[in-house]
Each structure stands twice: as structure tokens, then as C-alpha cells.
Amino acid sequence: MTTKITNFTFDKKHSKLAADIIKKYPAEGKRSAILPLLDLAQRKYHIQICTTTPCWLRGSDEIVKACEQTLKIKCGEVSSDKKFSLVEIECLGACVNAPVVQINDDYFEDLTNESIVEIINKMKDRKKLLLPKRKAMIGQDDPACHAARGRTKRTDIMFGSAGFSYVYLIYGMYYCLNFVTEIEGFPAAVLIRGTHVISPENQYLNGPVI
């Protein structure tokens, strides 16, 4: 069955957001704002919380609890305003940064109770969300550091001078770009986990959190 909507208006807050979107388009191309406006009108958030063992060990139960309390629903339910749905799922393939949640097309990693509540509240208020874009790996004492098990042929570059970059393949799918950041002999790097698309040429970037 198709429902025909004959009169639709944004509320005050979303009217302002719609006006901001329209402003971005040149006078002769205002009609091109239709897609982001449709997105604004329809936006819903499907929150998928990974509760498989690595995420569970890193506190996914608490993330579930924080989501349920913030949204006042249980997993498997939809919020009363129909904007949020919540489910538990199996491994999202980003265990190294557990606990992990996928919301629509985006991954949110290394979450804490506070950060997931902040993310949900920003979504509720439709505030701009800046995804975590990088992850630092600092020294051999950092268990997430690629060189945590010492200097090998594979990790040699991390023990070199700052400024070098290296790429590794993860999950057989994603190429992850890292920059070495510390003095020679001290393994440290920054993993670039996301980018902003600023021109059509780089819109094909791909990755677990891009």
C-alpha cells in the first residue's frame, strides 16, 4: 500500500537545518538540495551493537545498557519517536577497536558509556557528528600498537623516524594507512581511520570507518 503525503512541513529546528542545506547550493541549482532534504526528512538511526566475545570483554554489555537507558527501549525495539532501532549483532570485523557499534553506514569504535550516550544525544538533536578519525599507537607497552610484540621485519618501519607511512591489509578487505610519529627506536604511529570527502575525486575512499 502506498501512502500519499499531501502536506509536509519540517518543525522549527529542521526548517532551519533545511534552510542551511539549501543555502549551500547556487541559485540556479537549488533543486539539487532534494536528496539531502529527503535524507533530513527520513533520517532514522539503526544502532547495531556488537556483543561478540572481543567486544563483550571490552564492555559491550555496558554499551547495550547505556543505549537502552538513553533511548528508553530494549534491544530489538524501536524508540517511541520511531527514529532509533536497537539490535545486538555478531562481530563487525573491527575487534581490534572493541567495543564497536555500527549506526547506519558508520562504525563507532573504542566506545565508552559516555561516548555512546554523547553520540546518541547528538543524533537526537541532529547535531553534526565528527567521527573519530585516527587512533594513536604508542610504544611497545600499548597492546594495540602494531609493534607490541617487538621489532620484526613487519614492524621495522615503526622503529624508524617519524614521517614514514605504511599500509596494512585488514580483514582481507581494507588497506589501513598509518604514519610513524616518534623518534627512531620508539615504535609509535597514527592510524588514519576516516576522511572527509571534500572533492568528487576522493569519494571512493573505502574502509571500516570511512
CB 87 within 8 A of CB 49: yes
Contact residue for ligand FES among 47, 66, 71, 100 (CB under 6 A): 100
**DSSP H/E element including 71:** helix 60-71
Does the protein bind ligand FES through residue 103 (CB under 6 A)? no
* Residues near ligand FES (CB under 6 A), total: 11
* Cell numbers at 155, concatenated: 614492524
Contact residue for ligand FES among 14, 17, 54, 182 (CB under 6 A): 54
What is the C-alpha to C-alpha distance for residues 180 and 190, in angstroms, rounded to an integer? 7
Does the protein bind ligand FES through residue 207 (CB under 6 A)? no
Window of 25-33, 92-100, 142-150, 151-159 that interacts with ligand FES by CB under 6 A: 92-100
Select 64 or 180, whichever has its Cβ closest to ligand FES. Answer: 64
Does the protein bind ligand FES through residue 64 (CB under 6 A)? no
Please name the amino acid found at residue 185: G
**DSSP H/E element including 46:** strand 45-50
Does the protein bind ligand FES through residue 94 (CB under 6 A)? yes
Does the protein bind ligand FES through residue 120 (CB under 6 A)? no
CB 74 within 8 A of CB 86: yes
* Cell numbers at 157, concatenated: 618501519
Does the protein bind ligand FES through residue 55 (CB under 6 A)? yes
CB 129 within 8 A of CB 119: yes
Contacting residues toward ligand FES, per CB under 6 A: 50, 52, 54-55, 91-95, 98, 100
